[in-house]
Amino acid sequence: MSFADKVLAVNNDLPIRTELPVHSGKVRSVYWLTEADSRRLIREKGYDVAEDTPLAIMVISDRMSAFDCIWKGEGGMRGVPGKGAALNAISNHWFRLFKENGLADSHILDIPHPFVWIVQKARPVMIEAICRQYITGSMWRAYSKGEREFCGIQLSDGLQKDQKLPDLLITPSTKGILKGIPGVPEVDDVNITRTDLEAHYEAFNFRQADDIDRYETLLKEGFDVISKALSELDQVFVDTKFEFGYVTDAQGQDKLIYMDEVGTPDSSRIWDGPAYREGKVVENSKEGFRQTLLSHFPDPDILLNKDRMDERLALAENNELPQSIMMNVSKTYLDIAERITGEPIALSDNPKAEIVAILKEQYGLID
């Protein structure tokens, strides 16, 4: 069996019972269950949600996204072997640790298969909550050009590339295109300040102004839990993105929860500790793949310049990366997942067939 056969690249064609179109993102696909199936599962499985909560099946893939494009490899590789299972295993591990430490819940109710989450519908807060412990990446590029203010936070002069920052910085950006908010451009992924959030909290989908403090607390607590656990593995938690939303529990209480994935190589930068102490940066996250792409193509500006998006999409569509690049990513993701979870990541020869069998036999979601 070839590497290409082990990759779950297409995840929006499963025969899961649904009355709505399947929502397919860069990496995950979401199947909204029928109202009858949602109510039945809540009752049968005892999920701690209101009885009329819509549920969905979220299926991860092995697709490789970077610079807002999906990349493929030679030999029909439409993704990276083991990537989906590694991402889910890492997220599942951190969510378990959050629970043990008394942090907020997540949108995940059940994990039927390494590629699958059963999730509750949440009302998302429309920000990508980014926190940074080191100055690197886009922040360093802007700082090196003379910028000193980021999301309303003033940085001092004299910082060095990849240096640890004096404090954990919270640098939120918009999630999607938000319209009609004074001072906030109507484009995706634009930096915003805490003042923006306070002045227009309802436009960002916060229920009340006090919840801005709550989201910052959850952000810092989540970061600290992951950072401490990674430091015990001699890994450096550099920066990460969290997403939040509201759900209603079985008692009718609204609460702010973590959404999407947390602390994964896709949503975070993780550096090797021993290498960092020697003055080198070894990436155990997607950033390594991004750097490879920047050196692989002769004109890296295409990947960095949002005004050249058409060229960038064509680059991803028309180029098959060497298989060695895809397998290096596979090794990075599987190695860090096994280090974090303490367990080997089992790779399936046919994940799609496994998912169908489990959802049919144990959850009654496939006719």
Q: What is the pLDDT of residues 123-138, one digit of tens each?
A: 999 999 999 999 998 8
CB under 8 A, 24+ apart: contacts of 200-207? 203/126, 203/178, 204/125, 204/126, 204/127, 204/178, 205/123, 205/124, 205/125, 205/126, 206/125, 207/246, 207/254
Q: What per-residue confidence (pLDDT) applies to 5? A: 65
* pTM of the predicted protein model: 0.94
Distance of CA 304 to the CA centre of its chain: 20
Evaluate if residue 1 carries a pLDDT over 60.
Answer: no
Structure token pair of residue 320? 């098959």
- Enumerate domains of the chain plus CATH numbers: 3-122+341-361 (3.30.200.20), 123-277 (3.30.470.20)
pLDDT digits (tens, 9 = 90+) for 331-340: 999 999 999 9
Strands 23-24 and 28-32, bridge-based pairing: antiparallel
The predicted structure's pLDDT at residue 4: 58
Tell the residue number behind the tokens 């959030």, with chain if given: 197
CA–CA distance, 157 with 321 (Å, rounded to integer): 40
Query: Tell me, what's the pLDDT at 45?
Result: 96
**Residue-averaged pLDDT of the chain:** 94
Alpha helices in 119-240 (DSSP H): 137-144, 194-199, 211-232
